[in-house]
Amino acid sequence: AYHVVTHELAAEVETLVRYAARIAREDVAVRDHAPWALRTALRELLVRVPVYRPYPARDAGAAPEDVVSAQAAEEASAVFTVPEEAETVALVRELALGRRGDGPAYEAFRTRFAQTASALRAKSVEDLAFYRYVPLLSVNEVGGDPGAPALAPDVFHAYCGRVQRDWPLTGTVLSTHDTKRSADVRAAIAVLSEVPERWGAFLAEAAAACPAPDPHLGWAAWQLAFGFGSTDAERLGGALLKHVREAGLRTSWTEQDGAYEEEVRRFVAAGPCGAALGGRLAELRAELAPYIRANVLGGALLHLTMPGVPDVYQGTETESRTLVDPDNRRTPPDVRDTLRSLDGGRAPRDLPEEKLALTAAALRLRRERPDCFGEDASYAPLPASGPAASHCLAFVRSDHVLTAVTRLAARLAEGGGWNGTVLTLPPGRWREAVRERSDEVHEGGVPCADLFATAPATLLIRTD
């Protein structure tokens, strides 16, 4: 962030310095602030803005406290040697939050600060850090936090409760036109975090047989290849070439190293897309397919039934394995004939068709029962009981729609399965919403082994 704010965004920072200096000259109470102090305070506060788009509304008054927190101001002040000079941080913070003054100059500063903070986060985090920090690529996504790659169920439930209370009509997304890796690619990569020994053994084998141009690229490339699940060298190679240019460690968009980039192309062709290692990677992916399936279907169902309004990006109603743009803007498949066939009673033949059937069932339910998903709907966590209770995530919407999914399926299998874990349903009879399982009815305490016998994610409707 410091590199970006002092290089690519240096001109934007200087504009803010001029705005702040002009305000200071006209306000006798804050006149004694030098341009260098304003510049330092701006840089230190900008790199600490935690939100992606802190744009102020014209009629919203002061911005929320956490846009530029007191802790951020304290950390920024510590950069100054002289305490009196550190007072500049307080001025800049008040201007950014809209707490000092009114009029065109103050509004211009607030707007420009928000725009610069947004650009800084995009350029320094998603367009740079996400390509350099690659322990687990599935969490390197816009809106994600690589420092917190997973949420405990109680944290997820608390978040959903807050969304339903405060922003019931907010949009929710898993994939967009700007996705680094589609949700289903990320769902597959996430499984690797559950099997570190198996993944480590494969990486050691791959590194010995086909060394990458550098370890950083190798670590990212094999994850991406696993999630992608294809040996299409043109698509995978294009994504990895963009990866190394964005990372800017050995080559970049403005200073390209042709020899290194050719090494990358050769590595992709011989390694992830080669017959030997590509085949071995495909074998590993097939072995882990049940757990990938659990992540794909579980993630889709949570997205479609949690509080908020789900935005289903083109092509993601079925399994979608796409990479960074322009790959994620490919023409999506036409699934209308497949959906008609599934509606006619044919069982899904593979994961793409399973996801399509589940998506259709959830979206139709939202259309038929808006009272269970709208502004006046309710959200209630539903805990399981038993030795594997933490592997079941469930909730009820407005007492009539129930979502239950399997989490950390690989760890669940490693631990011996459900082992008598039970999900006690609310009163009533609950029918499966997905068409091919619509004759299944549950009530009372249901063993998770039975609830998830045919699919790792289930959507139930109360019928009485």
Per-residue pLDDT of the chain (464 residues; tens, 9 = 90+): 898 999 999 999 999 999 999 998 887 666 778 899 999 999 999 999 887 777 665 544 445 676 788 899 999 999 999 888 899 999 999 999 888 878 899 999 999 999 999 999 889 999 999 999 999 999 999 888 898 899 999 999 999 999 999 999 999 999 998 899 999 999 999 999 999 999 999 999 999 999 999 999 999 999 999 999 999 999 999 999 999 999 999 999 999 999 999 999 999 999 999 999 999 999 999 999 999 999 999 999 999 999 999 999 999 999 999 999 999 888 999 999 999 999 999 999 999 999 999 999 999 999 999 999 999 999 999 999 999 999 999 999 999 999 999 999 999 999 999 999 999 999 999 999 998 777 889 999 999 999 999 999 999 999 98
Could you tell me the end-to-end alpha-carbon distance of the chain, in angstroms, rounded to an integer? 56
Question: DSSP string covering 175-223, please?
Answer: --TT-SS-HHHHHHHHHGGG-HHHHHHHHHHHHHHS--SSHHHHHHHHH
Pairing of strands 171-173, 309-311: parallel
Q: Where are the alpha helices (DSSP H) in 82-171?
A: 83-97, 104-121, 130-132, 153-166
Q: Give the integer Cα–Cα distance in Å for 195 and 201.
A: 10
> What's 237's DSSP letter?
H
- Cβ partners under 8 Å of residue 416, min gap 6: none
pTM for the predicted model, two decimal places? 0.91
Number of C-beta neighbours around residue 28 at 10 A: 8
Q: Give the integer Cα–Cα distance in Å for 221 and 236.
A: 9
Q: Is 424 helix (H, G, I), strand (E, B) or coil?
A: strand
- Cβ partners under 8 Å of residue 201, min gap 6: none
Instruction: Tell me the CATH number for domain 196-287.
Output: 1.10.10
State residue 442 phi and psi, 5-degree precision.
-125, 155
The number of angstroms, rounded, from the C-alpha of 47 to the middle of its chain's C-alpha atoms is: 21
Of residues 214, 264, 211, the one with CA closest to residue 242: 264
Q: Which element (helix H / strand E) includes 310? A: strand 309-311
Q: Which amino acid is at 186?
A: R
User: Is residue 297 exposed (0-12), middle (13-18) or buried (19+ Cβ within 10 Å)?
Assistant: buried
Quick check: 54 and 67 in contact, CB under 8 A?
Answer: yes
> What's 389's DSSP letter?
G
> What's 318's DSSP letter?
S
The number of angstroms, rounded, from the C-alpha of 310 to the middle of its chain's C-alpha atoms is: 14
**Token digits for 143?**
């809106």
Number of C-beta neighbours around residue 206 at 10 A: 21
**Token digits for 49?**
């803005």
Of residues 351, 211, 210, 355, the one with CA closest to residue 285: 351
- The full length of the chain comes to 464
For the chain, give every domain's residue range: 2-130, 196-287, 290-462
The alpha carbon dihedral of 66, 70, 74, 79 has a sign of positive
Quick check: 21 and 42 in contact, CB under 8 A?
Answer: no
For helices 351-368 and 336-343, what crossing angle results, to 10°? 80
